[in-house]
Structure 1
Amino acid sequence: MVPKRKTRSTPETTTTTTSVTNAQLQAMIDQGVTASLAARNATRNGDDSHTSRTGVRRTERVARECTYQDFMKCQPLYFKGTEGFVELVQWFKRMETVFCISNCSVDNQIKFSTCTLLVGTDVTGYNQRFQELALLYVRMFPEESDKVERYVSGLPDMIQGSVVASKPKTMQEATEMASELMDNH
């Protein structure tokens, strides 16, 4: 039996019956699903059509760049360097979560995450731990210059300026200069 649909143009007088076959009903459903999927894919693929089926233009939110304050609001873990492997892995996972939540760019990820590395005045221990971490997380330092910059940024304040002034090009130059300066203090 074919489903029937009744509509009334005026409540008291006229009744119109419209028959819809199962094939027509299925075609209408398919058309709606296709339109919905196309709209979803357009927004995922960055299509510039932001008009809904009703003709009303939707507003698109523009993602703003992550600031250091945004990053810190996500409560990243601090890493002292004395913890073991499990804590290091937890730190990495937490950093990845914070990067995702705060919409942090790759350039800022490196800069901001190094601020969570806590360093004392034991430069020898810092050198060793930094090298271990750099080997475990190679993606953090794509170039030698990045590695040197991040190493120097984690040095104690009392020698950091002097190491920066020496403009080390390699990790070896940076670690030698830092060790020499710490021995003189």
Structure 2
Amino acid sequence: MNGDNINDSGTGRRRKMTTPRECTYIDFLKCQPMSFQGIEGVVGLTRWLEKMEYVFQINNCTVTCQFKFSSCTLQGRALTWWNSHMRAVGQDVTYAMPWAALKRMITGKYCPRGEIQKLESEYWNLRLKGLDLLNYNHRFQELALMCERMFPEEATKVERYISGLPDMIHGSVKASKPQSMPKAIEFATEMMDKKMLIHVER
């Protein structure tokens, strides 16, 4: 940690202010970032991006480090693509780019529009089958992450989630007017448990 001396108000004494230590590559690796090979599809890429941003956050990675460190997790086809790009524009120019630029580039390369459209269609038409609410919740959240541009607002996601619930709990969950996805899922789970308990008791 680096220290800067400043006056302590009211006492005249000087105290040390600590500033966060810059993230190192060793720190980055300790968080076990995911690798990306370019063959994982939209789901795999989405998980890689999500994990990478989580690692950046807990390590306080600087903008400069984010691009450089994340590119080191590319393997296979993705690494070949990346090396070709770096040779074309130069290493200095490449590493001066922000993480958001790599995110756009890699999404454009490995998220074909056709595949995104299929996922968006699934998201729009997703319905709970049977009583397997756990799998419905998991798939809905997965699709919501990948199709965020369709429903960027939390309220719209909640509405879409509730519309996919079966009649046996749909009305109750809607009437509860949940303000967030966690609340909607929590109430839907509670209602489903009650319905199943009544069914068992009969």
TM-score of the superposition, structure 2-length normalised?
0.37
Which structure would you say has the larger RCO, counting Cα contacts within 8 Å and 6 or more residues apart?
Answer: 2
